[in-house]
Chains A and B, each alone.
Chain A
Amino acid sequence: MNLVRLFVEYKDYYITGIKITLLLSLLSLIIGTSLGSLLSLFKLSKLKILRLISTFYIELVRGTPIMVQIALVYFGSYVIMGVNMDAFLAALIAVSLNSAAYVAEIIRSGIQSVDKGQWEASRSLGLTNGQTMRYIILPQAVKNILPALGNEFVTLIKETSVASTIGVAELMYTSKIVQSTSYQPFNPLIIVAVTYFIFTFTLSQLIGLLERRLAHND
């Protein structure tokens, strides 16, 4: 088959691209989720200033295209701070910061979807705010958070393809190279689409598995 031959011929390019895509996805997933959790706590905070900061941040990120964000980090770092930032690092920062905003909203709504009576019952028994969050609210919120978080992770993998616009040699970038060296405009796109699909499908299956396991002890 033409596709297989093409893949084998350029396999070194593809393997590098896959590695970089996976690394970029994994790192931004970790950073984005951590930062997003923190932002969601800000948004639920009693302090108005923290709520304002996180709302402002979330709206800003959600209201601008990721392609613009990635370019802003990459070129902005030079223009504003005079630093010649590595393209991979710029992509990692942009994708993480982008994902954090969405994760924050997902966690916030998951926590708020737990009945207010659960807080009251827990606090009336003398549990502290932190204990209530940890033992009562979060275990229940996870069931609401997980499916939406899975969607967000799938989106994140796909969005790392935007890193190709600043020259990060990830999967999409590889595909462009193969297109131009092999003079084949179409087949490399099929390969790249199938590869992304394998990643995202595997991930959503894994999350589905986790969901079912959690639903089990209901």
Chain B
Amino acid sequence: MIKIVNLHKFFDHKHILKNINLEIEEGEVVALIGPSGSGKSTLIRCINYLEEPTSGEIYIMGRNIGNLGKKIDEVRKAIGMVFQHFHLFPHKTVLENITLAPNLTKKQSKEEAEKKAIKLLETMDLLDKKDAYPTSLSGGQKQRIAIARALAMDPEIMLFDEATSALDPEMVGEVLNVMKDLAKTGMTMVVVTHEIAFAKQVADRVIFMADGEIVEENVATEFFENPQNPRTKEFLSRVLEY
């Protein structure tokens, strides 16, 4: 589904990603963890080319996305992304936020897109907010709308970039539950997260990054029960301390 080969990324002279090689299968849920500044956000942003790699290749469903030029939009339609700060469109209602992209890029009729959006809002338990503007919503509600907006495109892959990091603690659960349900449907997911418990429960595989490198990766149970690398051990002991 996703294949990353010898990926490097520099910001000016800073080496952010160092020779990343990674393969993610269809239906797999992969959690990316690591200290801040380790490059995990940059890596996930490279997957839909919001960040352009300095060198290396990224294949999405067999297509090398580095040489697509303007056709990158085709690939992006198949990759949903959820951001830390939601980035809902403040001048559009909740319903318009969700229907805009399918309507514009998939040429879905307004009715068709709305029908789908209403169904998504129902599953998120937010149907009563369909005509509200984003400013009137709580953080947890905003993030669930943002997930619905991405899902309205029927993506093959979902990327979550610290989707719960900007939320008040009491709202983290409602968003994680939506993500958990999504994982059960067989969606391919890449999740950058600080929620270790979530990674443990939901992820099939956990990847630990530090200083722009993949330090360790393993199936989730093995990863947490039996970490190999000293840096992984140190990181886990620190985040699991409390």
- The segment from A89-97, A113-121, A146-154, A201-209 found at the interface with B is A113-121
- Hey, which bits of chain B sit against chain A, CB under 8 A? 48, 50, 70, 73-74, 76-77, 79-81, 83, 85, 87-91, 100-101, 104-105, 133, 135, 146, 149-150, 153
- A125–B83 Cα distance when bound, in Å, is 12
Whether A127 contacts B133 by the Cβ 8 Å rule is: no
> 7 tightest A-B contacts by CB?
A126-B77, A121-B87, A125-B101, A117-B87, A124-B81, A126-B76, A126-B105
CB of B158 to closest CB in A, whole Å: 11
- Total chain A interface residues with beta-carbon distance under 8 A: 19
Whether B48 contacts A118 by the Cβ 8 Å rule is: no
Q: Is A217 an interface residue (CB 8 A)?
A: yes
- A140–B83 Cα distance when bound, in Å, is 20
Identify which of A117, A128, A135, A217 contacts B83 (C-beta below 8 A).
Answer: A117
Q: Which residues of A contact B48 (CB under 8 A)?
A: 124
With A126-B74, A126-B105, A218-B133 as known contacts, state yes or no: A121 contacts B89, CB within 8 Å.
yes
CB of A212 to closest CB in B, whole Å: 16
Q: Is A136 an interface residue (CB 8 A)?
A: yes
Whether B101 contacts A126 by the Cβ 8 Å rule is: yes
Q: Which residues of A contact B77 (CB under 8 A)?
A: 125-126
- A120–B50 Cα distance when bound, in Å, is 7
CB of B136 to closest CB in A, whole Å: 10
Q: Is A123 an interface residue (CB 8 A)?
A: yes
- A126–B153 Cα distance when bound, in Å, is 9
Q: Which residues of A contact B149 (CB under 8 A)?
A: 125
CB of A37 to closest CB in B, whole Å: 20
Q: Is A167 an interface residue (CB 8 A)?
A: no
- Hey, which bits of chain A sit against chain B, CB under 8 A? 115, 117-118, 120-128, 131, 135-136, 139-140, 217-218
Question: For residue B49, which residue of chain A has the nearest CB?
Answer: A123
With A123-B50, A124-B81 as known contacts, state yes or no: A115 contacts B87, CB within 8 Å.
yes
Whether A136 contacts B89 by the Cβ 8 Å rule is: yes
Identify which of B50, B73, B79, B91 contacts A128 (C-beta below 8 A).
Answer: B73
CB of B223 to closest CB in A, whole Å: 28
Q: Which residues of B contact A124 (CB under 8 A)?
A: 48, 50, 76, 79-81, 150
Main secondary structure of the interface of A (DSSP, over half): helix
- A123–B77 Cα distance when bound, in Å, is 9
Whether B70 contacts A128 by the Cβ 8 Å rule is: yes
Q: Which residues of A contact B83 (CB under 8 A)?
A: 117, 120-121
Identify which of A118, A123, A131, A218 contacts B89 (C-beta below 8 A).
Answer: A118
CB of B110 to closest CB in A, whole Å: 14
Q: Which residues of A contact B87 (CB under 8 A)?
A: 115, 117-118, 120-121
Q: Which residues of A contact B135 (CB under 8 A)?
A: 218
Q: Which residues of B contact A131 (CB under 8 A)?
A: 104-105
CB of B6 to closest CB in A, whole Å: 24
Q: Which residues of A contact B105 (CB under 8 A)?
A: 125-127, 131
Beyond the given pairs A117-B83, A121-B87, A128-B73, 15 more chain A to chain B contacts, judged by CB atoms under 8 angstroms and listed by A's residue number, are: A117-B85, A118-B87, A120-B50, A121-B89, A121-B146, A122-B89, A124-B76, A125-B76, A125-B77, A125-B150, A126-B77, A131-B105, A136-B89, A139-B91, A140-B90
- A127–B50 Cα distance when bound, in Å, is 13
CB of A62 to closest CB in B, whole Å: 31
Q: Which residues of B contact A135 (CB under 8 A)?
A: 100, 104
Question: For residue B77, which residue of chain A has the nearest CB?
Answer: A126
- A76–B165 Cα distance when bound, in Å, is 62
- A57–B155 Cα distance when bound, in Å, is 45
28 contacts between A and B (CB under 8 A): A115-B87, A117-B83, A118-B87, A118-B89, A120-B83, A120-B87, A121-B89, A121-B146, A122-B89, A122-B101, A123-B50, A124-B48, A124-B76, A124-B81, A125-B77, A125-B100, A125-B101, A125-B153, A126-B105, A126-B153, A127-B73, A127-B101, A127-B104, A127-B105, A128-B70, A131-B104, A135-B104, A218-B135
